[in-house]
Amino acid sequence: MKRLALSLFSALFASGLALAHESPIDHVEREFQFWVKDNQLFLSYRLQTTDRATLMELKQMDGNGNGKITDAERDAFLTQKADVIAKSFALEVNQKPLTFAPVGTVVRDRKLGQTFLFSAPLPPLKPGSNPGKLVDGYSRKYPGGFRWKARPEVRPGELRVEPLTPPPQPGSTLHPPWIELNFEIVVPQ
């Protein structure tokens, strides 16, 4: 009897541990690109969703449940998703909190990617390096890896954003529990 109770306890404990971590089914890959224009910090934020997550979103998009997704339903869903993502970011430059807001429409691609554009007004910046940090709160809910997209060309004398946090190694299945990125905005002297 004691062995049965111990076996049962071990099985229940192990099953509890298995449920404690999210399934890798809906892990989301991300691509980040920062730039500065007209005293605004811009972020292009591309999510590469899984087939399963995309099917779940399609079901949610069908607001009236008639089995057909209209352009208006799709756009309303993606607008709401952009707002949720923007509110989940914690952004600071020179240790001053900034707030990202969605800009424009979400760009969808054939690889089930969704690219969101966000901007935040910058505080006055000093010449040289201005440290920044972005904590992606959305990655807490939908974990996964990330990569930096190549920086856009910057002309001499323009501000540039330099990524400081290295992405995970290619092929790595490990990822942090959330994504926290350090970067710097370089103001020419």
- Which segments within 49-188 are labelled E, that is strand? 89-93, 96-98, 101-102, 107-108, 113-121, 128-136, 146-148, 160-163, 179-187
User: Residue 17 has what pLDDT?
Assistant: 40
The confidence score (pLDDT) of residue 172 equals 63
CA–CA separation, 125 and 168 (whole Å) = 30
Q: How is residue 3 written in tokens? A: 């062995």
What pLDDT is stored for residue 41 in this prediction?
A: 97
The per-residue pLDDT for range 115-127, each reduced to its tens digit, is: 999 999 999 999 9
Q: What is the residue-wise DSSP string for 82-107? A: HHHHHHHEEEEETTEEE--EE-SPPE
Residue 3 has what pLDDT? 56
CA angle (153, 158, 161) in 5-degree steps: 65
Residue 13, classed as helix, strand or coil, is helix
pLDDT of 152: 78
Contact in structure between 42 and 36 (CB atoms under 8 Å): yes
Please tell me the predicted confidence (pLDDT) of residue 5.
44
Compute how many other C-beta atoms are within 10 angstroms of the C-beta atom of residue 51: 9
pTM of the predicted model as reported, rounded to 2 decimal places = 0.81
Pick from 147, 26, 143, 136: nearest CA to 86: 136
- The per-residue pLDDT for 156 is 87
> Any alpha helices (H) in 27-70, and if so which ranges?
51-61
Query: How much is the pLDDT for 27?
Result: 76
For the chain, residues with pLDDT lower than 50 are 4-24
pLDDT of 6 reads: 45
Instruction: Give percent of the chain above pLDDT 90.
Output: 56
